[in-house]
Structure 1
Amino acid sequence: MNNLFNFETNVSNIILKRGFEYYEQGMVKDITKLGDYIYEGEVEGNDDYTVVIELDKSQSIKDYNCDCPYDGAVCKHVVAVLYQLRDDMTIEVVPKKTKKVKRMSFKDLVEQLSIEDLREFIFISAKKDARLKVSLEAYFVDRDDTVDIKEKYKEVFRKIIKQHTSRGFVSYTETKKLSKELEIYLGRVNELIAERNYRDACSIIQVFIEEAIDVITFSDDSNGYFSDLIFKAIEILDSIIEADITIEFKESLISFFEEELAKEVYFDYGDFGYELLGSFELLCLKIFKEEFYLTFLDKKIKESNSEEYRIRHFTNVRLSFLGKIGREEQLNQEMLDNISIPEVRRNLVQREMMHGEYEKAKILLIEGIKIAEELKHPGTVNQWELILLEIAELEKDVERMRYFYNKQVFFGWQINKSYYSKLKATFTKEEWTVIIEEKIDSLISEAKSKVKQHSMFNSNPYDGLVNSVGVLYSLEGYVDRLFDLLKKVSRLDLVLPYLKYIKKEYTVDVIFDVLRPLIVLEADRANNRSDYKNIGNLLISLKKEFPQAVGIIDSIVDEMKKKYPKRPAMLDEFNKV
């Protein structure tokens, strides 16, 4: 893009115009110097984006980057920052002809103002700026003794939330800003706790949770900032419950938990309800309301209707609570009554194993496997089989160990290397050679059969073998057979993990005879800057891994640049290689 002072010559008129508008409207914020000739700027808009510009000593533009989704060579955000940076550079470079007069500091300015001046400024500014008005009301909320503290903070929180809401929704960017603004009030609650003002702290934290949970329903909390804020609020509530305060005061919290835990939003939008339930359990233990809590859980189980996860969770919480309060006999009976719940069955199995009752444990596990198979829950079946394997190891039952090791090696889409080693260790070298060859033949036949069944999709059978047979070849040191397999694979991502096994045995030319067509195919399929960047980074890493292949890689880059001269984003990324 040439120099900071003539970059316009290499930018399209449309992008130049949009970037200049952003610059003129003052949407470039916080330009920061990250290092020698490296600058970072924030650009505001529908979303905020970060731009990084790197110059050299002569102020030529070496590199630039923006985290916006635009796929062209340069975006409007980069242009806006360049205009602003040029302004800043001009201000720094051009010396002042007049004698420099030291300006009054902000502190000195404020200190010389009268109370009347400040009040007049606040009234005028608050009329113009609604955010300033809300900030002042929020900062001095404790000064108003005419309103109940809960009502005061409810009003403050709602005003702050409204400021960040547009058309009934809090955007991704605004959710982050809102989280930071509201987190200040959690700090205020902690200050009140430190002062042992638990009543006000408790009032504020209750209102905070009540208002915050509603925001989850109309905000984009993809980054999790707001969710974390709610969890922090619940942790603070726990600290109040743990505090040395009267039982009467703690009992006053019961109605809050009953009302909030009755709201579906706590359970529909995350684990907030389960965290809050844990706080309620803590409260009931502290105020000796065990029966009350058990009755509450019974009610939640009945209200859950067909919500299987909730029923299981509330039941497990109830059983755990019975254990905490020492009701062993009741706990044992209720565990048997709820043995269809996997977590309950697991606890019963662990009890039997602790007492060395392996046969009883195996009966429970085999029953669990049958139930899980009927329900088509392979994950639960695997869970029970792992415990059966653990028992087989304890009993040194080699045949059962081999059976379950074998199942674990090939459970899922990739070979489990840990169980593979354990399985191999149970055989002699001669026995293993026969077994592994039979397994390889079986996997190859199975893969080819699948391709025949789905011939209309033009599947490559060798692609499907890489994560099974390919792994076995690498584990057994069959490098030649591994390389023969890789030569038949049609996807670059499947070949790359195996380069470390073949690089010592084959020349660079031979390896890149396999890699080159796959890299070209990957570049042909790429259609956006992100794809081009990934390929460029791959080629850079291949240059580091195979220094002798620099010429080959450069020739691949030249080939693609000639093939696609009208893809500026590709050319831009490949020029970095």
Structure 2
Amino acid sequence: MKIKDLLNKVGGEIFSRGEDYYENDYISFLTYNPQKRSYYGEVEGSGFEDYQVRIDLDEENNVDFYDCNCPYDWSDTCKHLIAIFLAIKDGNYIESNEKDIESVKNIEKMEDDKEDILDLVNNASKEDLIEFITEKGFKYDDFITDLYRFLKKPEVTEEIKFLVGDVKSIISDASYFKFDDHPYYYQDETSKYTDDLEKILSQAEESLNKERYMVPFHVSIEIIKGVNSLYEFSFEGYSIDGLDYDSFEILKESCDLIETYGTMEEKENAFKLLIKNSEKEFISTEYNYNFIYETLKFLNKSNKNEIYGVIDNIGDSEYYYSKNMILKSKIIEIIDGKEESEKFKMNNTQIDEFAMDLIENAINNNDFDFAEKLALEKVNENEGLPNQVKWEKILHNIYRSFKIINKQIKIANNLLKKGNSKYYYILKELYKNCGLLEEKQEELITNLIENSSFDCYGPILKEEKQWDLLWQGVKDHPDTIFQYGPELLKIYDEEVYKFYYHHLITQGEIANHRKAYKLFVKDLRKLYDVGGDKYADKVFDYFRENYKIRRAMQEELNVLNSKRNRN
């Protein structure tokens, strides 16, 4: 099929998005190797990496193979492939061989080589430089901004106003998506706006020092607020997640600097702004908690009640209740000291984190009775609930810390029977130390198999060389033949090859899209790798003859065929 015919078959949303990527220069580069009749290109992703696209043609210039390493798997063709197909159709590529590809990818780096630029600038006249800056510089917004900041060195308040204004302008420009009838189905330009915001954040980050810390403080807060509004209409949210994380990291560093170098007025103003934003409605309540935790750096007796008020208004669910109580314990520790905080925890052991802290302290202080008593209370309190296992594990750790063997064995057996396969090894070691391993080994294996999934106990059976039990497990879970087949072949030989064969036939028959075909062919290759050529050839020939209509499957089989040089 020719490229133009393939493009004609693709329509709707995916074509529109690919066309948009092509028209907006998202293709980083595209080369064509005439010797191999192969195209190779890279297209900007929506996150922080480019995706690689490869297209091979046959002798009649039909598309023989195409692939993109992006995560999209709803169909064979993604927006990045569409963008590349359109570029090829319009002749927008560079002919090259394989050695040229790296040089094409590094053109921008070569053009930006600092030494070359330094030579040019040193040899240029003052008049030429002024002419270049005044005539050419206004075409590049980033250059003008950087030049302004470098030469004028604006005051802190002026730079805050300047950068915060830019952030607000970008968010305002992005907001038109809110009025699109179908923003999720047509296009998502969020990554373009997040790129611009990242640049502003980077500019603000340059001021993370003991003189200009208020710049990144205000800019990061403004970006966090803007990011929250972008989430409302963004389809590709992972480009926002990175900016979100970076902004909070810079906010934390800014607050550290304010805490260390700030004046009393700056600390009070920082506290007020953080408190104000902690009360806003965000896409995630984690934003509110992030702001509150930063306020703790500026906490004192006169403003503690403001934080308590914000905490009490966050939410009334059990989840928020626990987080709020933990926050309050930190406030008490800062204002009244660690001893008062410990009293607060002791009076509120219904909070799991408090109970765990108290148990850890008791272990460190060799107070076995208190640690066991509190852990048993939590086990009984959570009887029949998911958290019961967590507290049984903590109880086991208490017995291990105080070297109480019989109680360790009892609780470890209980945990193994609840599906915690790691306690197989713990029990094995305990029995070994007691001289009971030979007597208890069979019981241990039985409890492991009866109470764990094959994913958990299969590797243990292999390690213990329990081949009959492992072979039975593989029969019950056929997909695992590729994991355990090589070892089982040494014991059961031809029977295992036949099992491979029947499983691959079933796997190939139910495969119905390219991703499944790739996995099927990959697994078929594994049968060749373990010496099962006779059975692998049967599988290969069966699908070659009986599934010609599945073109994508045939293409994958061709790849395997070429690798094995089969005639």
TM interval, short-chain normalised: 0.7 to 0.9
- CA gap 1:15/1:137 in 2 versus in 1, 3 angstroms: farther
Of residues 9, 27, 30, the one that matches 2:28 is 30
Contact 2:332–2:341 under 8 Å retained in 1: yes
RMSD value over aligned CA atoms?
4.6
Letter in 2 for 1:71: S
Is residue 41–residue 81 contact of structure 1 (8 Å, CA) maintained in 2? no
Offset of residue 467 of structure 1:
4.4
Give the letter for the 1:64 counterpart.
Y
Structure 1 stretch displaced more, 205-214 or 167-176: 167-176
Partner in structure 1 of residue 467 of structure 2 = 479
Q: Distance in 2 between matches of 1:275 and 1:494?
A: 44
In structure 2, the residue matched to 1:218 is 233
Post-superposition shift, 1:405? Answer: 1.5
CA contact (8 A) 2:31 2:40 kept: yes
One-letter code of the match for 1:536? V
C-alpha displacement of 1:181: 2.0
Kindly provide the CA deviation profile for residues 240-261 of structure 1, in whole angstroms up to 9, marking residues without a partner as x: 3244232222212121011101
Counterpart amino acid of residue 516 in structure 1: Y
Rate the CA distance shift 1:14–1:393 in 2: closer, same or farther, 3 A.
same
**Structure 2 CA distance, aligned partners of 1:203 and 1:24?**
37
Instruction: Show the counterpart of 1:367.
Output: 377
Tell me what 1:333 maps to.
343
| 1:505-520 correspondence to structure 2 within 5 Å | 505-507=491-493, 509-520=494-505
What's the TM-score once normalised by structure 1's chain length? 0.73
Find the residue that maps to 1:356 and give its secondary structure: coil
User: Which amino acid in structure 1 is aligned with residue 436 of structure 2?
Assistant: T
Secondary structure at the counterpart of residue 377 of structure 1: coil
Shift of 1:137: 7.8
Partner amino acid, structure 2, of 1:502: L
Name structure 1 gaps, 5 residues minimum.
1-6, 92-104, 126-131, 447-463
Structure 2 portions without partners, runs of 5+? 98-115, 561-567
Q: Mapping of 1:70-149 within 5 angstroms?
A: 71-72=75-76, 76-77=82-83, 79-83=85-89, 88-89=94-95
After superposition, the Cα gap between the structure-2 partners of 1:296 and 1:397, relative to the gap in structure 1 and judged at 3 Å, is same
Residue 405 of structure 1 corresponds to which residue in structure 2? 412
- Post-superposition Cα deviations, 1:464-495, rounded to whole Å, max 9, x if no partner, equal 973477566435422134324433x2x43244
Change (3 A) 1:363 1:475: same
Structure 2 match to 1:231: 248
Structure 2 residue aligned with 1:568: 551
Q: For residues 391-417 of structure 1, give each alpha carbon's deviation from its aligned partner in whole angstroms, at most 9, with x where no partner exists.
A: 222343333211222233344476655
Q: TM-score, normalised by structure 2?
A: 0.75
Q: Which residue does the alignment assign to 2:510?
A: 525
Distance 1:116 1:439, change over 3 A: closer
Aligned match of 1:269:
284
| TM-aligned CA deviation for residue 432 of structure 1 | 1.4
Percent identity between the two aligned chains: 18
Please give the alpha-carbon distance, in whole angstroms, between the structure 1 residues aligned to 2:200 and 2:82.
37
State the alpha-carbon separation in 2 of the partners of residues 514 and 575 from structure 1.
24
Contact 1:217 1:269 in 2 (8 A): no
Q: Distance in 2 between matches of 1:46 and 1:221?
A: 9
Q: 1:194 to 1:336 in 2, by over 3 A?
A: closer
Residue 97 of structure 1 corresponds to which residue in structure 2?
none
* Counterparts in 2 of 1:479 and 1:486: CA distance versus 1, 3 Å: same
C-alpha distance 173-390 of structure 1, shift in aligned 2 (>3 A)? same
Superposition pairs for residues 314-463 of structure 1, below 5 Å? 314-324=324-334, 327-373=337-383, 377-378=385-386, 380-412=387-419, 417-422=424-429, 424-425=431-432, 426=434, 428-433=436-441, 435-436=443-444, 439=447, 443=450
Contact 1:393 1:401 in 2 (8 A): yes
Q: CA deviation at 1:343?
A: 0.5
Taking a change above 3 Å as real, the CA distance of residues 514 and 420 of structure 1, as seen in their structure-2 partners, is: farther
Shift of 1:85: 6.2
Q: Matches of 1:9 and 1:264 in 2, distance apart?
A: 49
Deviation, 1:304, is: 3.5
Against the structure 1 CA distance between its residues 198 and 270, is the aligned structure 2 distance closer, same or farther, given a 3 Å change threshold? same
Contact 2:417 2:447 (C-alpha < 8 Å) held by counterparts: no
In structure 2, how many angstroms separate the alpha carbons of the residues matched to 1:439 and 1:556? 39
Question: Relative to 1, partners in 2 of residues 1:46 and 1:260: Cα closer, same or farther, differing over 3 Å?
Answer: closer
CA change 1:532–1:110 in 2 (3 A) is farther
Query: In the aligned structure 2, how far is the partner of 1:202 from the partner of 1:437?
Result: 58
Using the alignment, how far apart are the partners of 1:153 and 1:342 within structure 2?
44
Return the alpha-carbon distance in structure 1 between the equivalents of residues 307 and 436 of structure 2: 56
Question: What SS class does the counterpart of residue 340 from structure 1 fall into?
Answer: coil
Report the counterpart of residue 112 of structure 2 in structure 1.
none
**1:551 and 1:84, CA in 2 relative to 1: closer, same or farther beyond 3 A?**
farther
2:65–2:555 CA contact under 8 A, matched in 1? no
Q: 1:90–1:348: structure 2 CA closer, same or farther, 3 Å change rule?
A: closer
Q: C-alpha distance in 1, partners of 2:75/2:224?
A: 41
Aligned partners of 2:424 and 2:229: how far apart in 1?
Answer: 47
Distance 2:257 2:363 in 1: 40
Alpha-carbon distance between aligned partners in 1 of 2:291 and 2:400, rounded to the nearest angstrom = 41
- Number of aligned residue pairs: give it: 515
For residues 470 and 183 of structure 1, do their structure 2 counterparts lie closer, same or farther at Cα, with a shift above 3 Å needed? closer
Moved more, 413-422 or 108-117: 108-117
Shift of 1:422: 3.2
Deviation of 1:87 (Å): 5.3
The verdict on how the C-alpha distance between 1:428 and 1:195 changes in structure 2, with shifts beyond 3 A counting, is closer
Structure 1 window deviating more from structure 2 (467-476 vs 184-193): it is 467-476
Query: What is the CA–CA distance in structure 2 between the aligned matches of 1:409 and 1:575, rounded to whole Å?
Result: 48
Give the direction of change, closer, same or farther, for the CA distance of 1:412–1:465 in structure 2 (3 Å limit).
closer
